[in-house]
Structure 1
């Protein structure tokens, strides 16, 4: 009897403890997560209100002054995980922000924040550091104070650059936008965002890749292929180390090329081969320059003059940044000459129709063949032969 009563009491006590745990409020981890979220909500409000004192009350991290020039329409954090050890913690968060006048949807970036709390902060959490999450790219303000220059059709954000240099980029972009619209049409945003870091290493940081991947590449455009109308604006990211080696014409061709990628993004998808997307961008870039094929395609011209006519259009792998500059140049020049052939033989508007027709397909298989049949009235095999003849005539 006594043993059974004791056992019953133990069971009742366990049940009571379980009930208390189940009903007794949040765990320490949940409490820390909620506290950190409130802290970052205050931090976000300070950024949007341009309230430096309120920002400083949330702690350190990215210096407020670095963000001051960025025209922000939205800025918020969503805490996804908090790992707490006593009065220190590490939080993972998703930063979402929009650049006013350009982003129709938020840019999302993974961030890792180091936090602490002490008697000096009344026991509240404070940010000690705010940096890109592992495997996440840097944001421009991670590299230093951002300067902003607005063009008529562009926004240029730079770090470590002179105001004159950023103005020059805005002028290049302002000339590129109407040039692209004249070739492609006006069914795109018709404004661009350029990011100009201090160096090649800064460019690589913004792309989350090794600097060796972009050495010699003057600029790249980031964005989601086939993106809907409500999407973050593409960013044209400049490699200043390579860009300074270009002459005035080369600078304009590069910015117009990258702006073409912005314009065509919604019609570029998994079915679009790189020879077409890169070739079309080069075709628009060179379209109004008056450059003849041997001038615009020197590597391919050298090969053709030596009897080395390509057997086929380049594959996507030929556009990889492998360090073989000649191979990469021939790939781009091959794509450009193929698009130039279409414009010369079928007309510029038909070239645009062909581009869109290829992009409408969800898969690569059969996309080019079907578009060539429907838009150009030819086949890939016949087109390749025509292209080879075109190369001999133009470059031989």
Structure 2
């Protein structure tokens, strides 16, 4: 037992001695702190400031020496942005990956605002490779981040046309053509603001790329999925707060084949998405968000249901009304075109039915209630009960009867 006790005492003395050694080693000089993140932030800050002040030389000075191809590309992008009314331009560092002793890759959110139009920045992810030489960091490569989407100024010189409520940025189009789109966008914003009165001061930013393929590049998606789609809207919100500014992206090929009425409907539909962004959440089914946007777009139209919903009418006359409201997958652009059209038409008729059997105020309140629910499960049920005094099953049955009566 004594030996055991001695061993314990010896162990304690050794631990104390070792602790002293550890304390002594902690007091030794340490390696210099890694300042890469701080230095990269400063470099990107200088780059942003140079762009906003239109200092081309300073914008290019941060590029790696000898990278003439990069210098040429970046110089062109700088020039392409010359006419764009930028309020802000910021590179926000979200991560830094060591790729070598003197190389890193910065994960960056590029955030910019159009002066007079954006209340929050538009955000796109970038990956920027940097190299350290002679004690300085330099940009060696700048490429798309997650999603792989391009920016409009990477597709050519940006021409700008301003409207009362809109600004149109285009590449490969005349200013006069962009002005006509701005006039239609102004009318769309007027129509939406009359309905969605929360957005009385609604303004929109539209992008018009030179082609369908260029539209796909802006979206980071295969262009074929958007063939025949005249426009789409991008943007993001979280818990009722915009986190990335909306952009209405026009497909010039599909937009051109529409008449004046069709163009107005398309832009009003997309503008409705802009207006309802913060009330459209993961709880909102696609039939409601797309149906509501179509209802706003056709609100003042004198067209009949059969004229507005020809694909759904063909289905009804062949097979009877659909068994259920359109599901989210029915709205995929890459799917069957007839099915896609029928899904939009079915959502529109559901919203139209609510207005006809109740009123516009009920539809607006119903929309906000669904989007305001904390999760998808139960959102529709709660809003239907509160605003319409019904269940999803009863609502679907009434919708099927309404579709038959309007389209059979």
TM-score bucket (shorter structure): 0.7 to 0.9
TM-score, normalised by the number of residues in structure 2: 0.83
Aligned match of 2:51: 47
What secondary structure, in the 3-state scheme, does the structure 1 residue paired with 2:376 have?
coil
What secondary structure, in the 3-state scheme, does the structure 1 residue paired with 2:325 have?
coil
**Please, which runs of 5 or more residues in structure 2 have no aligned partner?**
1-21, 64-70
- Name which of structure 1's ranges 233-242 and 133-142 shifts more when overlaid on structure 2: 133-142
**Please, which runs of 5 or more residues in structure 1 have no aligned partner?**
1-13
The Cα offsets for residues 63-101 of structure 1, whole Å up to 9 and x where unpaired, read as: 311222222222222443264657766544332322222
1:110 is the counterpart of 2:125: yes
1:362 is the counterpart of 2:377: no
CA distance in 1, matches of 2:396, 2:107: 51
Conserved in 2, the CA contact under 8 Å of 1:272 and 1:359? yes
Q: How many residues align?
A: 378
Residue of 29, 41, 44 corresponding to 1:37: 41
* CA shift in 2, pair 1:129/1:147, >3 Å: farther
1:128 Cα deviation from its structure 2 partner: 4.3
Aligned match of 1:97: 112
CA distance in 2, matches of 1:89, 1:385: 59
1:188 Cα deviation from its structure 2 partner: 6.0
CA distance in 1, matches of 2:195, 2:278: 16
TM-score, normalised by the number of residues in structure 1: 0.86
CA distance in 2, matches of 1:233, 1:151: 18
Residue of 111, 131, 138 corresponding to 2:150: 138
- Name which of structure 1's ranges 275-284 and 88-97 shifts more when overlaid on structure 2: 88-97
CA distance in 2, matches of 1:231, 1:37: 22
Where do 1:140-159 residues align within 5 Å? 140-159=152-171
Where do 1:172-321 residues align within 5 Å? 172-187=184-199, 189-225=201-237, 228-229=240-241, 231-321=243-333
CA distance in 1, matches of 2:208, 2:327: 30
Aligned match of 1:25: 32
Conserved in 2, the CA contact under 8 Å of 1:192 and 1:233? no
1:32 Cα deviation from its structure 2 partner: 4.9
Aligned match of 1:11: none
